[in-house]
Each structure stands twice: as structure tokens, then as C-alpha cells.
Chains A and B, each alone.
Chain A
Amino acid sequence: MPLIAAFVATIAGWVNKKYCFAVAALGLTGALTSSVGLLSYVLTHGPVQYRLGGWAPPFGIAYQIDPLNALILVVIAAVALLNLLGTQRSVALEFSEKIGAFYTLYLLFVVGMLGIVSTGDAFNLFVLLEIASITGYALIGMGRDRAPLATLNYIFMGTIGASFYLLGVGYLYLITGSLNMADIAAILPQIYASKVVLFAFIFCMAGLFMKMAFFPVHGWLPNAYAYAPSAAAGLIAPLTTKVMVYAMVRIALFVFKPEFTFEQMGIGEPLVWAAVAAIVMGSLLALAQRQLKKMLAYVIVAEVGYMVGGFWLGNRAGISGAVLHIVNDAAMTLVVFMAAGNLFYRLKGDSFGALKGVFREMPVSMAAFVVGALSIIGVPPTCGFFSKWYLISGAIEAGHYGFVAALLFSSLVNAVLFFRIIEIGYFEPFTHANHHGHHQPPVRRFREVPMSMLVPLLVAAGSLILLGVFSGDLVTKVIHLALPGQIT
């Protein structure tokens, strides 16, 4: 559905720039409604399979929807739609003449993401991964200042990651003669001892870790996200890393069986420690930043650590926590990046100095930002608390106290981070940099962003609290259904 809209948006861009936004919004609304419908259908009727071109798997390419990816589909479509609605003005401001191209890329990116999540074919996943990545590069590259350079670094890392994944799929094909995920999963158990399977697994995981900016290979992320245009950052930051974590879950649980992934490989323990390092380093580096978006980017690095660590704990609570955190983190990141985009729209800068006294100026945007911040810190009524709760109980169950410590540490650091911003924005008076001693009394009027930017942001912020309130239902009714039964 967004694919058709992408083509229509291009054509509409040639005719008249005003139509692009309408077409994009329409396409994404369609995608959202159909994915919500799909989720409720899957929950009542069980998995759905769509065969491209009518060829039966394992020969044809199948799209397989089960509760896990139906949930993620809803998240992607919702994030993309909210961000699209919320950034209409800033897109018009930042790319006045390239609106058609921007919306086309935007929709193609969403197509890639939706495809990665719904596909049931290992090679198809690579192709859609690259569709999403290449449009992502282009979207980030449209930014100003250091954006092109940051994007080029992202391209290098992303390409190596994708190539590693492709190599892993090559090995899998070599040993099983199949590309269909379910088919591979059926063949593999007989040959788990083979070294080829081992290397296929290592290459797939290494590639996906690079794409999701897991700690030692996170170098591309902060600059790319910090310099991206706000509309693109609000789309890419919530989705890319989360969808990559989903792909890892899919490969590790549904292509390789859990008993292979967790018992035979024996890499769970070191990976959880790597995740601990990711959380600690991401938090510390975030603390060192003086720029809002860059700080948020390092927070994402830490959040990726949460999800990877939670997953590799290998028990039910940990994995549920990781999947729940995919959903929650997408929503939280959306809120803070959209709020940052609104601030950027008005203040034309996002260094901490520019934020002084911003509460008086834009109270609603900042209120939404505070909700997002509280959720990232993990304060109870918001959703961040619940996924953290699952992650911590999973870690305690697995006896992994290092991970518990890292989670608590990172919550503390996040609290420091965000309260610093709240303090700057709320308490520090705005002063002009006036060197002549004539200190003007601060003139800060109510300058909130237009309504069309505020409403989607508030909806997103409200969704954080709703997700928090209903997270129990979400876990028992959706996520537990989605995980394979062998995980205890």
C-alpha cells in the first residue's frame, strides 16, 4: 500500500507539490488500518501467509504474518504516520523544492521497513533491508552541515553490515538449499553440528549488529541522526534500530531454533556483557554531549543495548521485555525526536544553550518532551517502566546481576540527562549574549509551534501512557503468543 502511494507521490510531485503530503498521509493511513486489521485477524485466527505470485514456498517468496510481526507492523505504520503528520511544516521549511522527492523516499523507507518485518524469506529480507537503508541514507543525506559526511560513514558501515548478512544467508543456502525461513528452520536441526551453520549464524548476527548500531559498531549512528533533517530523524531514529532488533529476533528464534541459539552457541553470556557495555558507554557518552539530538542519539545506543541484552538473556521474561521494549522504545524515541524537531523548528538550533527558558516559550512541546523523557528514565505510569521491569526480572531470573546493574545505572544517568535539560529549559532565565552590559530583560513570548505539529506530538506522548497502562495486556495477549513455546 505505501508502495503504490510512493509512486503516486512522485507523480503528484511533478504535478503539484501540495498533493504529495496528502498522498503520503493517505497511503500511510491505509497501511495503518490494514496492519491493525491484520493484527486482530492474526490474534484470533493464527498466522497468515501471502504468497507472492502464487508460488508455494519453499520455491516462491512468502510473506508470513504471525502475532510478533503483526504487532511490529502496527508500530511501524503508526510511527510513520504520526511523524508524517507532525513534520509537515518542517519538511516544507527544510526542503522547499524537494518535497516530492522527500515524500517518495519517506514512503519507500516505510515500505522497506514493513517488508523486512513481514517477509518470510531470508534473501528477501536482505533486499528489503537495503531498500530501507538506501532510502534512509538519502533521507539523512538531505540534511545540512555535516550530514553528507555522516551519511557516508553510515553507508560504509551499513553496507558492510548488509554484506555480512548476505554472506550468512549464502552459507545457509549452501548448506540447506533453501531460502525460505520456515524451510531452513525445518532442515537445520539435523545439521547443527556443521561449521557452515555456525558461520552462517555468526555472519548473520554480525551483519545485523552493525545495522542496529550495537555498541562496538555504533560509530555511524550519533552523527547520522544528529545531522539528519528533523522530519527524517523522527522517522529513522525510532524505526531502524528497532526493526533490526526484530530481524535479529526473527533469525535467532525462527530460522535457528531457540535451543541452537541459546544452548548450542553459548554466546548468550558474552553478548549480554557486550550489551552491558553498550548501555554503560551509551549513557556515559550521552552525558558528555552538549547538543540535544546528539545526546538522544547516544541514548538510542544504550537502548539498543537494553533490547539485545534482554533478548540474549534467553528466558521468557527477558525476551518479552526485549520485544515490549521494541514497541515502547519506538514510541518514546518518536516523542523525543518529534519534540526535538519542534524545538529545532522554532529555535533554529539544538545546543543546550539555545534551550534556556524554552518552557515559557513552547510549553506544550516541552511537556510532551518531558513525558518522553520520563518514559525513557522509566517512571511508572509510562511504558518505559514496564519493559524495564520485564528486562530486570528476566535478568534476575537468569542470575545476571551485571545486566541489572547496567539497567539501573542507565536509568540514573538518563534521569540526570533529562533533568539537566528540564532544568535548563525551565529555570535558567533567557539572557541575550550582550557584551555591553545592558542586560535586556528577557523577552520570551509564547511562541508555540503550529497546531498541525502539536497534535501528532501530543497523540504520540499520550500513546506512551496508554502503552504503559495496557502493557500487561500487550505482553500476555500478543507477545507471549508470538514467542516459540520452548522458551521458558
Chain B
Amino acid sequence: MDGLFDFIVSKYNYWGYVVLMMIGMYAMIVKKNLVKKIIGMNIFQTAIILFYVSIGAKRDATLPIIAHGHGDAHHAVHAVDYMNPLPHVLMLTAIVVAVATLGVALALTIKIYKQYNTLEEDEINARLRGR
């Protein structure tokens, strides 16, 4: 299992994603505007996407396309020379999921705006309590 960690030379990518996650979480908890909350949610998801992308990357590695791989496979393939493509492929799916969530959330905000004429959470709550 050590081999899997060898290519993680420094850990700055992890710090990056943790910070982004916390920014997103902060926005979702603290902000009163619903659109800002949704953007916070999106930042949160993006942080995790970045985390996955970064675990697939390697220093001095190239795209995982094996040139001249078939017909004349006389040379050995060094796995070290290639990045791990799987996390990236997984993240294509996760990006689609994130986009879909964002779309549903924004569609709902349009509906909420039509209903209450505002997107500030405290104003909506005040109105709900008033009724």
C-alpha cells in the first residue's frame, strides 16, 4: 500500500480541498440568501471533486494513453509514467450529479421567488410566521 502514497509528495492538495469544503459549508450555514447557500453547496461539491482529481495525479506522469500499445508492444509499460485515470472518470459522473443538483436547486429558488418575492431566508421565515 505504500506505493499508493509515494506519489503524494506534499499534502497541499488535501489542505486545498479541506479549505474549500469549509468555505462551502460556511456559506451554507451562515448566509441568509438562498442563492448564496446554493453556491456554497456547489463549492462544497467541487471541493470533493478536486480531492478525487488530485488523488489521481502524479508528478512527471503523462496521460494514460499507451502509444503504440497494440500491434508492436515490444516495450514494457511502466505504470509510474502514467496518471491514474479512474478517479477522473469517476468525477465526470460526480460533476454531472453536481450539475443536476444545482439545476434542481436553482429551479426551486425560482419557484420560491415567485411565491414569496424574495430570496432572503429571514424575510421568508418572518412571512411564514406572520401568517
Contacts and interface: CB of A to CB of B under 8 A. Distances in A.
B51 interface: yes
A177 interface: yes
A11 interface: no
Which 4 pairs from chain A and chain B are nearest by CB? Answer: A148-B111, A130-B97, A148-B112, A148-B108
B87 A173 contact: yes
Interface in A435-487: none
A127 interface: yes
A155 B105 contact: yes
A222 B45 CA distance: 25
Given A127-B93, A141-B111, A173-B87, A159 B44 contact: yes
Interface stretch (A95-103, A160-168, A248-256, A366-374): A160-168
Given A123-B90, A130-B101, A151 B108 contact: yes
Interface string A118-155: 00000100110010001001100100001011011001
Q: Main SS of chain A's interface residues?
A: helix
A170 to B, nearest CB: 6
B10 interface: no
Contact of A163 (B45, B93, B107): B45
Interface of A: 123, 126-127, 130, 134, 137-138, 141, 146, 148-149, 151-152, 155-156, 159-160, 162-163, 166-167, 170, 173-175, 177, 179, 191
Interface in B55-113: 55, 86-87, 90, 93-94, 97, 100-101, 104-105, 107-109, 111-112
B124 interface: yes
Contacts of B101: 130, 134, 137, 155, 159
A170 B45 CA distance: 13
Contacts of B45: 159, 163
Given A130-B97, A152-B34, A170-B87, 5 more contacts: A130-B101, A137-B104, A149-B112, A173-B87, A177-B4
A155 B112 CA distance: 14
Contact of B48 (A146, A163, A177): A163
Contact of B94 (A141, A166, A174): A166
Nearest to A137: B104
A174 B128 CA distance: 47
23 contacts: A126-B97, A130-B97, A130-B101, A134-B100, A134-B104, A137-B105, A138-B104, A141-B104, A146-B128, A148-B108, A149-B124, A151-B108, A152-B34, A152-B37, A152-B108, A155-B101, A155-B104, A155-B108, A167-B48, A170-B87, A175-B4, A179-B86, A179-B90
B1 interface: yes
Contact of A174 (B4, B44, B108): B4
Contact of A141 (B37, B41, B108): B108
